[in-house]
Chain A
Amino acid sequence: MSATRPRPLLVVGAGIAGITATLEAAEAGHEVVLVEREPAVGGRAIRSHHYFPKLCPPSCGMELNTRRLERNPRVRVITGATVTACRESNGGREVTVARTPAFVNDRCTLCGACSAVCPAKVKDPFNLGMAEVPAIRLPHPYAWPKRFVLDRDACPAGCRKCAEACTYDAIDLDAKPTQETIEAAAVVVATGWNPYPIDKLPELGGGVLADVIANVQMERLAAPAGPTGGKILRPSDGKPPTRVAFVQCAGSRDTNHLPYCSAVCCLATLKQAIYVHEQLPEAEITIFYIDRRTPGRNEDMLTRVAELKGVHFVKGKVGSVVAGADGSLVLKAEDVELGRIVETRVDLVVLATGMVPNLKSDETPFGLLRDEDGFGVEGAAGVIVAGVARRPEDVAATTRDATGAAAKACMVTGRSA
């Protein structure tokens, strides 16, 4: 890089936080490098069916964002890559980016000839493993960069069918990992979150009972591009449920699991209650909660759902979920208003699991302080934390926060462009 050209900002993680921080800084005039681990951008947000409280599809805003990414000459996006080192250097950060092999390159036209001949099936990570897809495929309908991806580990030994089928020279089965070093003026860490694993909640049937699912799975069941084409069906028998229970704070606000409040689960549940009600108007929906947290204008969601026929709120924490004799599920909860234990029989249980920051488990190269729960705390020179890497928050708060993070990164440089 020439001495006259200012160093770029580097953003790690291309979920809604990282994309927002990238675009806001780049549209101001900074060069920005966006590094994403997955083959396509969008992170967790793109896996939701709808955003609350507007109940609009995330792909709509993401479409606009990806167009902004591809149109902006100051943005460079590196997918399939992770940051392996990030050390202080000349008042900025020297960042090492390791890229997985690009088995499919940007000559890919999305024609689909490779998928058609692929003999290997994998569990679809976009649909949280709830569907099977060919090992080579478009990651999801809204994937950007618009390019197929290959799970090379799933290839049968010696199989080169996809490469042979591709007439555009877009597949290189012998691609090798690469690495590069980027001198960045500042780094924005927007590495996001993972859902708290439901198999840590066996007392609630998590990982034990097929019809106990996580809220993130419910998003995929409701989405048109999901494993059921948008139909809410019980995993065990593929039938629509008539009684659905939502268990709030499944893991959150619980010193045995996550002591903090994950901030989005109440609203996610209210949104999902609307999904269920709209598809299955006769369904009985019971929501077990400690507090219903719908701050700000999101209160409208609570008002709206409380008026829906068939929706019941029970203040109380669910103690157990067990299999009933007839294929149903039985929840035992303390109804604190009635002051006694109640039993509720349902067909489908949704655990409103919380958010675990990826910074918690990852080997973090950023030299960041983290709190007890793994959320990033600012303080390291030239490193800014954005989105759920910093604290549990919803998409609306994340886009706000990430725009502020872009400002902080620009402030490090002393320039807006």
Chain B
Amino acid sequence: MERLGVFLCTGCGIGEALKVDALASTAGELGAATCTTHPCLCSPEGVATIRAAFEDGTIGGALVAACSPLAKSTEFRFDPAKCAVERVSLREQCAWSHPAGDEDTQVLADDLVRMGYARLAKTNLPKPIAETIERTVLVVGGGVAGLAAARAAAEMGHPVVVVESGDHLGGHVAKLSHLVPDRPPYDTLQPNRIADLIAAVTSKPDVRVYTSAKIRSITGQPGQFHVEIDTPSGGHTLMAGAVVQATGSRPFDAGKLGHLGYGASPNVVTASRLDEMLAGGGVTRPTDGKLPGRIVFVQCAGSRDPQHLPYCSADCCGTTLRQVAQIHQAHPEVETAVIYRDMRTPGQIERFYAAVQQQPGSMFTRGEVASISGNGTLVVHLKDSLLGDDVELQADLVVLATGAVPNSADGEAIRTFRDATKRSQTAESETQRDEARKIAEQFAAHEGTEILNLGYRQGPDLPTLRQGFPDSHFICFPYETRRTGIYAAGSLRAPMDSVQATEDGFGAAMKAVQCINAAGRSEAVHPRSGDIGTPDFFLQRCTQCKRCTEECPFGTLNEDEKGTPQLNILRCRRCGICMGACPERIISFPDYSVDAVASMIKATSVPEDYEEKPRIIALICENDALPALDAAAARRIQWNPWVRVIPIRCLGSTNIVWIADSLSRGIDGVVLIGCKYGDDYQCHYVRGSELAHTRLGNVQETLQRLALEKERIRVVELSHDEFERIPAILDEFCKEVVDLGPNPLKGF
């Protein structure tokens, strides 16, 4: 970017804390095309001066040295396709967090202006992509969630293709006559209206449904997925813009529930079997075909059990209540007893629970089933029950409320299996081949489990979280999977009942059409929604190291046979993790690059005369750490003035060269502050923070080999609300760096 204008604000205490005229001199020294000082730059009058400079062509980029980039962002936003803007936080980083008039504060401000200027000089305007975008939504799975998604997408004006592996739509819900009530007064069984939903979907002209069909392959990217499906009538190909995976769940394998009598007596059945009886010829005892006098329901059959499913399947309490109500409706003379650990009827289902409890012949007791014995008439042995410590209940039929297992495929595990299988044949040494064979054996169970058959380097299906559910930020952003444009819905995504699965289908359809429309506007989707900048790969210098293709959390990059990355731009979320991974530094965004940050580091002053004033670089995540630091500044908490803060897009975008550059320039320490990682990660890009920790761990080893103390580099995890902790982290790190003494490379 050329013709840079520097706009200095003196408001909010900046003018009192700093010699702003000295900063203006710096701007002049740097070669600014114009430099303006304003008492309140964010005021309409202040903003107008910047706008005028853009409009009359005086400047191509504006350095706004005022408040934090997180403040007044609406005011300082100009057309991103035409105007480059860089913010320098003189208010939060200097005036509010350092002593006014202090020499160190002034040096800090001067550095921040130089750093911002250096970055702006390396900023380019984005070149919007222009791609042809397909509007069709592909829905994989025709149960309630899939049907709801299909209906929603169709009624939002999108063509829809539904691919269902079974021979009918509606999944297991289609077989039920009644459902748990979802509307007032919530106390009686509700007729199953799935036929209406099926009709609503199949009657639409722009909806195609394939049953007994499977996905052979999905290649391409959002807006341009190329889909091949196998159906009884042969193969079909189609284009889709986005995918909703709603492949549902299956009952937990009751064969593993021998301790609950399953398999020992035919009179122990699963909830699904009871539903078949309720839908078919009626409820009978398998051994004699008679109506059972007493039915005992055992809750949490497989669920909430570390041996089986550690989670609660969320649907079984409601299912049991429905079945009890259906039995009492059909056979008032039958007694029912429900053995539960905790009855889980959140919300208004509580009213249904209360109503079922009121029915004569209906009994509920908390307890654990110790064993079930007998063959014809069964004896259920209870322990720790409310009826007593050691109680026996007779039952003619025992129904196991089996939990739900998601119909997911672990894309990363399948890929590990495939890679290891290949290596077991092609690796150079016998040891390597042996090692690969062991890995292949370990992951062999994943062979043949593919559902989506994605043509992605990182595996043919969505990555899963622990317990087999596809990954997401499941509190704030529940549909965000790690494959852009592919959204999980229903009991595949999380344990849920059919009412929730229906809503989930609607939500996933919303995300699917949103992704298609964003692609049509050349915009990124969550979390940098609206970003029109795209990464550029300078492939002539690529060494095929494959780090970028491995580390992208979103599977953006495929590889050709040589291992050269193939960019699928519409899968990209613009996190910059590839940029951090690349040892050749060939990946850049127009407004964010290795070179730009390296230039910022180069622009900092490094006191040659140490005098106990070391220089520290803090690379901090703009998502959580920067807001926390701003919140500290807003409370006028002070921190050490030797620190130069560089906000970065994600800790995962940290390129090791920034550390090397810093140390070789004589900077005494580098601290990286990013989001928490692990199972409960807070990283907006899922793995960025974790990858930074791994990369930095490797750098620390290198430092030691170079006889530099590894303590000069630190990576810290921080939560968004830890505004009191972040200044303390900076202060403490400075103190430790002082104890280490000056960087021995200083002055070289």
Q: Tell whether, in the assembled complex, residue B504 and residue A404 are in contact, meaning their CB atoms are under 8 Å apart.
A: yes
Cβ-Cβ contact count across A and B, 8 Å cutoff: 255
A110-B634, A111-B11, A400-B503 known; A291+B157 contact, CB < 8 A: no
A1 CB to closest chain B CB, in angstroms? 21
User: Which residue of B77, B346, B517, B684 is within 8 Å of A64 (Cβ)?
Assistant: B684
**B-binding segment of A79-87, A149-157, A239-247, A405-413:** A405-413
**Proximity bits, A98-112, B CB within 8 Å = 1, else 0:** 000000000101110
**A-binding segment of B328-336, B549-557, B719-727:** B719-727
**A-binding segment of B161-169, B228-236, B468-476, B595-603:** B468-476
Q: Tell whether, in the assembled complex, residue A408 and residue B506 are in contact, meaning their CB atoms are under 8 Å apart.
A: yes
A233 CB to closest chain B CB, in angstroms? 17
Per the bound structure, the CA–CA distance linking A377 and B184 in Å amounts to: 8
Q: Tell whether, in the assembled complex, residue A403 and residue B354 are in contact, meaning their CB atoms are under 8 Å apart.
A: no
**A-binding segment of B391-399, B412-420, B508-516:** B508-516
**B-binding segment of A5-13, A173-181, A255-263, A325-333:** A255-263
A293-B342, A336-B386, A399-B475 known; A416+B527 contact, CB < 8 A: no
Q: Tell whether, in the assembled complex, residue B495 and residue A296 are in contact, meaning their CB atoms are under 8 Å apart.
A: yes
A371 CB within 8 Å of chain B: yes
Q: Tell whether, in the assembled complex, residue B623 and residue A168 are in contact, meaning their CB atoms are under 8 Å apart.
A: no
Q: Tell whether, in the assembled complex, residue B304 and residue A299 are in contact, meaning their CB atoms are under 8 Å apart.
A: yes
Q: Chain B: which residue is nearest A25 at the CB level?
A: B510
**Proximity bits, B700-734, A CB within 8 Å = 1, else 0:** 00000000000000000001111110000000000
Q: Tell whether, in the assembled complex, residue B509 and residue A407 are in contact, meaning their CB atoms are under 8 Å apart.
A: yes
A161 CB within 8 Å of chain B: no
**A-binding segment of B67-75, B450-458, B740-748:** B67-75
B23 CB within 8 Å of chain A: no
User: Which residue of B347, B469, B509 is within 8 Å of A260 (Cβ)?
Assistant: B347
Chain B residues touching A, majority SS: loop
A363 CB within 8 Å of chain B: no
A139 CB to closest chain B CB, in angstroms? 13
B525 CB to closest chain A CB, in angstroms? 7
Q: Chain B: which residue is nearest A391 at the CB level?
A: B347
Per the bound structure, the CA–CA distance linking A49 and B70 in Å amounts to: 22
Q: Which of B185, B634, B721, B723 has the most CB of A within 10 A?
A: B721
Contacts of A337 in B (CB 8 A): 384, 386
A27-B518, A61-B476 known; A70+B504 contact, CB < 8 A: no
Q: Which of B148-178 contact A (CB under 8 A)?
A: 152-153, 155-158
Q: Tell whether, in the assembled complex, residue B506 and residue A395 are in contact, meaning their CB atoms are under 8 Å apart.
A: no
Q: Chain A: which residue is nearest B300 at the CB level?
A: A299
Contacts of B607 in A (CB 8 A): none
Contacts of A292 in B (CB 8 A): 342
User: Which residue of A28, A63, A297 is within 8 Å of B517 (Cβ)?
Assistant: A28
Q: Tell whether, in the assembled complex, residue A407 and residue B347 are in contact, meaning their CB atoms are under 8 Å apart.
A: no
Q: Chain B: which residue is nearest A258 at the CB level?
A: B350
Q: Tell whether, in the assembled complex, residue A64 and residue B527 are in contact, meaning their CB atoms are under 8 Å apart.
A: yes
Q: Tell whether, in the assembled complex, residue A224 and residue B476 are in contact, meaning their CB atoms are under 8 Å apart.
A: no
Q: Chain B: which residue is nearest A408 at the CB level?
A: B506
Contacts of A336 in B (CB 8 A): 366, 386
B27 CB to closest chain A CB, in angstroms? 22
Q: Tell whether, in the assembled complex, residue B312 and residue A296 are in contact, meaning their CB atoms are under 8 Å apart.
A: yes
A27-B525, A59-B720, A403-B510 known; A263+B684 contact, CB < 8 A: no
A126 CB within 8 Å of chain B: no
Per the bound structure, the CA–CA distance linking A337 and B516 in Å amounts to: 56
A195 CB within 8 Å of chain B: no
Contacts of A53 in B (CB 8 A): 680
Q: Tell whether, in the assembled complex, residue A410 and residue B156 are in contact, meaning their CB atoms are under 8 Å apart.
A: yes
A317 CB within 8 Å of chain B: no
Per the bound structure, the CA–CA distance linking A198 and B123 in Å amounts to: 56
**Proximity bits, A381-417, B CB within 8 Å = 1, else 0:** 0000000000111011101110111111011001111
Contacts of B509 in A (CB 8 A): 407
A68 CB to closest chain B CB, in angstroms? 6
A225 CB within 8 Å of chain B: yes
User: Which residue of B40, B156, B526, B682 is within 8 Å of A56 (Cβ)?
Assistant: B682
Q: Tell whether, in the assembled complex, residue B682 and residue A407 are in contact, meaning their CB atoms are under 8 Å apart.
A: no
Per the bound structure, the CA–CA distance linking A259 and B505 in Å amounts to: 29
A234 CB to closest chain B CB, in angstroms? 22
A171 CB to closest chain B CB, in angstroms? 14
A119 CB within 8 Å of chain B: no
A333 CB to closest chain B CB, in angstroms? 15
Q: Tell whether, in the assembled complex, residue A260 and residue B475 are in contact, meaning their CB atoms are under 8 Å apart.
A: no
Contacts of B350 in A (CB 8 A): 253, 259-261
Per the bound structure, the CA–CA distance linking A327 and B510 in Å amounts to: 55
B529 CB within 8 Å of chain A: yes
B297 CB to closest chain A CB, in angstroms? 16
A141-B634, A260-B347 known; A28+B510 contact, CB < 8 A: yes
Q: Chain B: which residue is nearest A415 at the CB level?
A: B157
Per the bound structure, the CA–CA distance linking A23 and B511 in Å amounts to: 11
Per the bound structure, the CA–CA distance linking A377 and B58 in Å amounts to: 58
Q: Tell whether, in the assembled complex, residue A303 and residue B310 are in contact, meaning their CB atoms are under 8 Å apart.
A: yes
A24-B510, A64-B684, A414-B155 known; A298+B312 contact, CB < 8 A: yes
Q: Tell whether, in the assembled complex, residue A111 and residue B312 are in contact, meaning their CB atoms are under 8 Å apart.
A: no
Q: Which of B5-32 contact A (CB under 8 A)?
A: 11-13
Contacts of A23 in B (CB 8 A): 529
User: Which residue of B478, B627, B680 is within 8 Å of A54 (Cβ)?
Assistant: B680
User: Which residue of A63, A261, A404, A414 is within 8 Å of B346 (Cβ)?
Assistant: A261
Q: Tell whether, in the assembled complex, residue B346 and residue A68 are in contact, meaning their CB atoms are under 8 Å apart.
A: no
Q: Which of A139-189 contact B (CB under 8 A)?
A: 141-142, 146, 167-169
Q: Tell whether, in the assembled complex, residue A372 and residue B347 are in contact, meaning their CB atoms are under 8 Å apart.
A: no
Q: Which of B158, B469, B507 has the most CB of A within 10 A?
A: B507
Contacts of A141 in B (CB 8 A): 631, 634-635, 723
A407-B152, A411-B155 known; A259+B680 contact, CB < 8 A: no
A5 CB to closest chain B CB, in angstroms? 17
Q: Tell whether, in the assembled complex, residue A407 and residue B184 are in contact, meaning their CB atoms are under 8 Å apart.
A: no
Q: Tell whether, in the assembled complex, residue B74 and residue A261 are in contact, meaning their CB atoms are under 8 Å apart.
A: no
B541 CB within 8 Å of chain A: no
A296-B495, A337-B384 known; A225+B721 contact, CB < 8 A: yes
Per the bound structure, the CA–CA distance linking A291 and B340 in Å amounts to: 10
Q: Tell whether, in the assembled complex, residue B495 and residue A260 are in contact, meaning their CB atoms are under 8 Å apart.
A: no
Q: Tell whether, in the assembled complex, residue A109 and residue B527 are in contact, meaning their CB atoms are under 8 Å apart.
A: no
Q: Tell whether, in the assembled complex, residue A372 and residue B184 are in contact, meaning their CB atoms are under 8 Å apart.
A: yes
A225 CB to closest chain B CB, in angstroms? 7
B369 CB to closest chain A CB, in angstroms? 17
A403-B479, A404-B504, A410-B156 known; A291+B723 contact, CB < 8 A: no
Q: Chain B: which residue is nearest A405 at the CB level?
A: B506
Q: Which of B116-150 contact A (CB under 8 A)?
A: none
A359 CB to closest chain B CB, in angstroms? 13
B449 CB within 8 Å of chain A: no
Q: Tell whether, in the assembled complex, residue A407 and residue B624 are in contact, meaning their CB atoms are under 8 Å apart.
A: no
Per the bound structure, the CA–CA distance linking A146 and B70 in Å amounts to: 10
B477 CB within 8 Å of chain A: yes
Q: Which of B354, B505, B506 has the most CB of A within 10 A?
A: B506
Q: Tell whether, in the assembled complex, residue A399 and residue B478 are in contact, meaning their CB atoms are under 8 Å apart.
A: yes
B191 CB within 8 Å of chain A: no
Q: Tell whether, in the assembled complex, residue B467 and residue A224 are in contact, meaning their CB atoms are under 8 Å apart.
A: no
Q: Chain B: which residue is nearest A57 at the CB level?
A: B721
Pairs A–B under 8 Å by Cβ, sample size 24? A24-B511, A27-B530, A54-B680, A56-B680, A57-B719, A57-B721, A59-B721, A60-B623, A63-B627, A107-B44, A109-B12, A111-B12, A141-B634, A223-B721, A259-B354, A297-B469, A315-B366, A336-B386, A392-B347, A393-B346, A396-B474, A400-B500, A406-B510, A414-B155
- Taking A109-B42, A403-B506 as known contacts, 7 extra A-B pairs with beta carbons closer than 8 A to each other, sorted by chain A number, are A54-B475, A64-B476, A111-B13, A167-B11, A300-B311, A315-B366, A407-B509
Using a CB–CB cutoff of 8 Å, the interface residues on chain A facing chain B are 23-25, 27-29, 49, 51, 53-57, 59-61, 63-65, 67-68, 70-72, 107, 109-111, 138, 141-142, 146, 167-169, 223-225, 229, 253, 259-263, 291-300, 303, 315, 336-337, 371-373, 375, 377, 391-393, 395-397, 399-401, 403-408, 410-411, 414-417
When A and B form their complex, which 3 residue pairs have the shortest distance between CB atoms, in order from nearest?
A: A61-B476, A404-B506, A403-B507
